[in-house]
């Protein structure tokens, strides 16, 4: 059983590019839609789109507000419901502060995800067990590009085991990864 204090964040910085450099990726419309819908399906309390670039923040906010309050909210109430839990933040720190303010508590476990994590990882089953016995909030981080930068990974409290199928191929889109991890944690079977 899930408590209602799980949040997720989609990081556009700091993340790796294909060469391992730390970069800022572009916000994409479909990431926002797919992840907002998955977050809403699985009872996530808030979804933060994180980018340090002002223009990208404005772009993301324009999409979010179209579906929250603009024409989209009238056109598709289901989409509005997904965007009602979606916000833009300029940094992970800002998202963390916002959650602490909402929860009136700074007791928070930061959970990293990634396709090639090795250390400090637990299964989704173990994580959901922890969440069910913990009154603090949880923030699950997902990286765009080639994954979350090491500085953030090192500061996370715990990591989730990489998603694996029967093969050794692990190149899912971040949209797929968010959906699968939320389903493993909170899906009804």
Restricting to residues 35-64, which ones interact with its own copies according to CB under 8 A? 37-38, 40-43
Burial class of residue 118, CB neighbours in 10 A (0-12, 13-18, 19+): exposed
Nearer to its own copies, 126 or 154 (CB): 126
Q: What is the CA radius of gyration of the chain?
A: 16
Binding positions for its own copies, 163-182, rule CB under 8 A: 163-167, 169-173, 175-176, 179-180, 182
Task: Determine contact, residues 31/144, Cβ cutoff 8 Å.
Answer: yes
Instruction: Give 100 or 128: the residue with its C-beta nearer to its own copies.
Output: 128
Cβ proximity to its own copies: between 100 and 163 the closer is: 163
Nearer to its own copies, 60 or 85 (CB): 85
Q: Which of residues 111-130 bind its own copies (CB under 8 A)?
A: 123-125
| Tokens read off for 19 | 């060469």
One of 19, 30, 118, 151 touching its own copies (CB under 8 A) = 30
What is the binding site for its own copies (CB under 8 A)? Answer: 1-2, 30, 33-34, 37-38, 40-43, 78-79, 81-82, 123-125, 163-167, 169-173, 175-176, 179-180, 182-184, 186-189
């Amino acid at each position: 059983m899930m408590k209602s204090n799980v949040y997720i964040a989609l990081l556009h910085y700091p993340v790796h590019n294909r060469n391992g450099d730390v970069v800022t990726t572009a916000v994409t419309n479909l990431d926002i839609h797919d992840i907002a819908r998955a977050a809403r399906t699985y009872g996530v309390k808030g979804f933060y789109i994180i980018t340090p670039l002002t223009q990208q923040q404005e772009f993301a906010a324009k999409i979010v507000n179209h579906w929250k309050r603009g024409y989209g909210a009238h056109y598709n109430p289901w989409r509005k419901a997904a965007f009602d839990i979606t916000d833009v933040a300029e940094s992970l720190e800002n998202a963390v502060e916002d959650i602490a303010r909402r929860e009136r508590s700074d007791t928070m476990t930061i959970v990293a995800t990634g396709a090639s994590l090795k250390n400090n990882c637990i299964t989704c089953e173990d994580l959901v067990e922890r969440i069910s016995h913990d009154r603090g909030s949880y923030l699950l981080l997902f990286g765009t590009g080639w994954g979350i930068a090491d500085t953030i990974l090192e500061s996370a409290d715990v990591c989730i085991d990489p998603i694996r199928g029967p093969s050794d191929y692990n190149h899912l889109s971040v949209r797929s990864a968010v959906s699968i991890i939320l389903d493993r944690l909170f899906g009804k079977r």
